[in-house]
Amino acid sequence: MTSGKTSLAPLIAAAPGPLLRTTSTSLGTTQLQLHRPCPISVPPTDPMMRRSGRLVSSLAQPSCTAAPTSRLSTPTPTCLYRSAALRTHEPHVSTHHFARRRNQSSWAAAAQAASVAQHIRAAPAPDAPLKMDPFQTVAREMKFLTGNIRSLLGSGHPTLDTVAKYYTQSEGKYVRPMLVLLMSRATALTPKIARGGSGSNSVDHPITSASILSDDNPDASISNIAHDQAYTPADSDILPSQRRLAEITELIHTASLLHDDVIDHSVARRGAASANVEFGNKMAVLAGDFLLGRASVALARLRDPEVTELLATVIANLVEGEFMQLKNTARDEKNPVWTEDTVTYYLQKTYLKSASLISKSCRAAAVLGGSTPEVVEASYQYGKNLGMAFQLVDDMLDYTISSEELGKPGGADLELGLATAPLLFAWKDNKTLGKLVGRKFGEKGDAEKAREIVLASTGLQQTRALAQDYIDKAIAAIAPFPDSEAKNGLIEMCTKVLQRRK
């Protein structure tokens, strides 16, 4: 930092969420003001106040005059939801095209905000205990998850049946379906709007006659979601359609793992041999296609065009992101120079490959629950920012955790020629990495040299700071939600993402 008077206003303006505000005083100084978000309310005449056989209690009307904790001037009244469109976020990445600007990029702004955040608030300790276990909040629903997913994957062809269910034998972390269930429960008490639908118990009923579909699933008859007492609408504030959405989300994720393992020549997954090693590339690819097919069928039977559109575009996003990952820079130069466009390209790819599924499934959960547009958007912002943080932490683990701890090969990114966030941060200060990036660490010793440079730099620390910045935005997005165990679970999931080691 240079000597003299340095204004923090530009950096604070880039900080996540609407909770921090700056005001200029007559002395020319800048003051930070912390504003608490206004509570959201349910209009007394809301036709959707009754849900799942229960009366949703009306919440207090918002008070848009929340006082700052300290101030030198009276703030302009504001409501968190009403100002949602004015929040300082990076460009709306659901368009998947980051604007190329000569001035400061969204990535650089986020990185600066994360740096400032380190000085104005203490990040949680890496080993800080969780306040609660998010899993317990939706344990009843998660209990049936694996069985219901396997019932969606039944095939009359025994080999296909085996390969398709291979990754369900050893349960994964189930982060994505857990987030869907937590978001479904957290938004249950938020304002509702009337939406058309065909009933909550139709998730297993085909739209077209079985003779035309020609889709024999011998396991379909044992699906519990619409028939088991644990899944009746009156039993829970999570709808059957939202439970099915959680299963669809995991199907899409698992299909992407099958395809990724073939593309990346992976040898291990979830502590066992990867499907491509166990069955060969052809069967692994076909099994992934089969999972996407069954996910599409289940998605169609939700009978919600908006949700179908959201999840269908996720599948396209995954492919787009994989194509982007074939190059480390937009032009794939042989001797690239570090620019902000390089990291913007990386963040766009990260959204497509990692954050798209989480963000759009969280949004779809709110849509299925009949939430207002403001709540739907808040759900999306939570998922988008959490998804970005999740991948940033994943990029860090590739440098810091052993293969045994990860349950998959460690250090794989450099071996695959991939330049991820820790290396991009290091590259900015060490220009010699450009040649290594250009040849995708293809020469002997390249990967080892790049790893040494990254570990000797501040790349990992800056990556964590950026992940923290996204986490802060995720938490700020759901701040207006009514207090509940599910909301606390979503917040704790943010802590788990930062602390995870596999």
Mean pLDDT of the chain: 76
371, β-bridge pairs: 192
Most confidently modeled range among 125-139, 396-410, 451-465: 451-465
Phi, psi of 367 (to 5 degrees): -65, -45
Question: Which of 365, 304, 295 is CA-nearest to residue 152?
Answer: 295
Neighbours of 447 (CB within 10 A): 20
Q: In the numeric block, which tokens belong to residue 165?
A: 């269910």
pLDDT tens per residue across span 383-421: 999 999 999 999 999 999 876 665 556 678 999 999 999
Sequence ranges of the domains in the chain:
9-94, 134-499
- 22-43 pLDDT, tens digit each: 333 333 333 333 333 343 433 3
Question: Does the model's pTM come out above 0.75?
Answer: no
Residue 48 contacts residue 62 (beta carbons within 8 Å)? no
The pLDDT score that the predictor gives to residue 410 is: 61
The Cα-based distances of 500 to 110, 347, 361, 393, 406 in angstroms read: 22, 21, 22, 8, 10
∠ CA(133), CA(118), CA(501), 5° rounding? 40
Question: Distance (Å, rounded) from C-alpha 415 to C-alpha 435?
Answer: 15
Q: What is the pLDDT of residue 25?
A: 36
Is the Cα dihedral 143, 195, 89, 92 positive or negative? positive
Dmax over CA atoms of the chain, in Å, equals 78
Q: How many Cβ atoms are within 10 Å of 258's Cβ, its own excluded?
A: 27
CA distance 61 to 74: 22
Query: pLDDT by residue (tens digit) across 213-266?
Result: 667 778 775 444 444 444 454 457 999 999 999 999 999 999 999 999 999 999
Residue 83: Cβ-neighbour burial (10 angstroms; 0-12, 13-18, 19+): middle
CA distance 325 to 125: 32
Contact partners, residue 96, CB within 8 Å, separation at least 6: 317, 320, 348, 351, 352
The mean pLDDT of 70-83, rounded to a whole number, is 36
DSSP H helical ranges for 175-279: 175-186, 210-213, 240-263, 275-279
List pLDDT tens digits, range 279-299. 999 999 999 999 999 999 999
More confident residue, 71 or 142: 142
Place of tokens 């950096």: 11
Bridge partner residues of 22 (DSSP): 32
Position 10 pLDDT exceeds 80: no
| 78 has pLDDT over 50 | no
Listed residue (28, 25, 24) closest to 12, CA to CA: 24
User: How high is the pLDDT of residue 240?
Assistant: 96
Q: Calculate what percentage of the chain has a pLDDT beyond 70.
A: 67
For the stretch 186-227, pLDDT in tens is 999 999 998 765 444 568 777 776 766 667 778 775 444 444
Give the three-state DSSP class for 451: helix
Q: Which numeric CATH code is attached to 134-499? A: 1.10.600.10
Q: Once rounded to an integer, what is the mean pLDDT over residues 102-111?
A: 44
Distance of CA 470 to the CA centre of its chain: 10
Contact (Cβ atoms closer than 8 angstroms) between residue 348 and residue 93: yes
Contacts of 492 (CB under 8 A, 6+ apart): 130, 131, 132, 133, 134
Q: How far apart are CA 403 and CA 167, in angstroms?
A: 19
> Which region among 97-111, 149-163, 354-368 has the lowest average model confidence (pLDDT)?
97-111
Residue type present at position 393: V
Pairing of strands 54-55, 50-51: antiparallel
* DSSP helix, strand, coil percent of the chain (3-state; round to 5): 55, 5, 40
Contact in structure between 360 and 145 (CB atoms under 8 Å): no
Alpha helices in 64-126 (DSSP H): 106-120
The predicted pLDDT at position 202 comes to 64
Predicted confidence at residue 406, as pLDDT, reads 59
Query: By the 8 A CB rule, do 241 and 187 touch?
Result: no
Higher-pLDDT residue of 91 and 212 is: 212
What residue has token string 């069954």? 294
d(CA 85, CA 63) in angstroms, rounded, equals 19
Three-class DSSP category at 193: coil
Q: Which residues pair with 269 in a beta bridge?
A: 272
Give me the pLDDT at residue 112, please: 54
In 3D space, the residue among 381, 378, 376 whose CA is nearest the CA of residue 90 turns out to be 381
Which stretch, 71-80, 133-142, 164-173, 248-257, has highest mean pLDDT?
Answer: 248-257
Q: What burial class does residue 191 get, using C-beta atoms within 10 Å of its C-beta: 0-12 exposed, 13-18 middle, 19+ buried? A: buried
